[in-house]
Each structure stands twice: as C-alpha cells, then as structure tokens.
Structure 1
C-alpha cells in the first residue's frame, strides 16, 4: 500500500509542476489552483507513504521519479531541448534511485 501511495504522490507532484508551467508565475487562477492542490495532495500522500516505507527510500523515489518525468515532459511536450546531456542526466537520476534502493532500506 505504501508504494501505491508513493505512486499517487509522484503523479500529483508531476501534475502540479506541469500546471505551474502554465500558471504564468501563479497569476492565472486555474493552473495556480491545480499547482497548489497538486502539491498539497503530493505531500499528503508522501506523508502517508512514510508510515510504511523508509524516508530515504520514499524520498529518493519521489524526487528522482518526479524529476525524471518532468524532464521528459519538458522535452516531449514543452519544446525543451532533448540534448545528450539532459538524457544522460535523466538516466543518472534513475540510476541513483536504483542504487539507493539496492543498498537496502533500513
């Protein structure tokens, strides 16, 4: 159940961050409301996750997955450059999360 909550937290964070892009500096009502709501939901779900998943593991997965997904969204849908350095950076983020998880959660 913890990892299901974590998945929801990641999805909420990704939606909130994407909404922030369209909020024009939090000056547009609906994208701004989606940003705030998404982050509140993301933190609430992350807090629930921490009841059953270690904080290091949960945060590494949440931050790493969110970062990688947002970077891919930016390159795929928002016209950001898909340079070799960016792709390598995303792969390194993913590798870092994998290594942290292989190290064992205590």
Structure 2
C-alpha cells in the first residue's frame, strides 16, 4: 500500500506542477486551485508513504520520478524541448532511482 501511496503522490505532484505552469503566476483561478489541491494531495500521500518507506528513499523516488514525468508533460502539453545535457541529466536521475531501488538496503527490499 505504501508504494501505491508514493506512486499516487508522484502523479498528484506532476499534475500540480502542470497546473502551476498553466496558472500563469497564479493569475488564472482554475489552474491555481488545481495546483494547490494537487500539492496538498501529493504531500498527504507522501506523508502516508513515509510511515513505512525511509525518507531518503521516498524523497529520491518522489522527486526523481516527478522530474522525469514533468519533463514529459512539459514536452507534450507546453511544447518545451529538452537539450542533450538536460536529457542526460534526467537519465542520471532515473539511473539513481533504479540503483536505490534495486541495490540499496535502505529501500526496504
């Protein structure tokens, strides 16, 4: 259940960040409210996952997956393109999350 909570926290954070971009500096009420609600849900679910998952592992996964997902969303919804150094950096983030999950005793596996 805690891994599902972490996954949902990541998805809410990604949606909230997308809405934050669409809020145009909190000048558009709809996206602004979606952003605030999404972050509230994300933090709640992250807090629930932290009852079981070590904070360093959970945060690494939450932030790393969030970076990757929001980069994809930004490319699709906002037509933002990443250059090669940015893509390499994101690849290193993904590699780090994979190493933590597969190899670290801190991950709880």
TM-score under structure 1 length normalisation: 0.93
- 2:3, 2:81 → 1: CA distance? 32
For the residues of structure 2 that align with 1:104 and 1:69, how far apart are their CA atoms? 26
Cα separation, 1, equivalents of 2:60 and 2:105:
13
Tell me how far apart the structure 1 counterparts of residues 73 and 88 of structure 2 sit (CA, whole Å): 15
Q: CA deviation at 1:77?
A: 2.8
Work out the CA distance in 2 between the residues paired with 1:44 and 1:59.
13
Query: Runs in 1 of length 4+ with deviation above 3 angstroms?
Result: none
Displacement of 1:96 after TM fit?
Answer: 1.3
| Corresponding residue number in structure 1 for 2:25 | 25
Matched, 1:86 2:86: yes
2:52 corresponds to which residue? 52
Distance in 2 between residues matched to 1:77 and 1:24, nearest whole Å: 14
Gap regions ≥5 residues in structure 1: none
- What are the superposed Cα offsets for residues 62-85 of structure 1, whole Å, 9 maximum, x if unpaired? 000001111122123311123222
d(CA) in 1 for partners of 2:29, 2:53: 35
Aligned to 1:73: 73
Q: Which residue of 1 aligns with 2:105?
A: 104
Structure 2, unpaired ranges of 5+ = none
CA distance in 1, matches of 2:2, 2:9: 10
Q: Does residue 1:43 correspond to 2:37, yes or no?
A: no
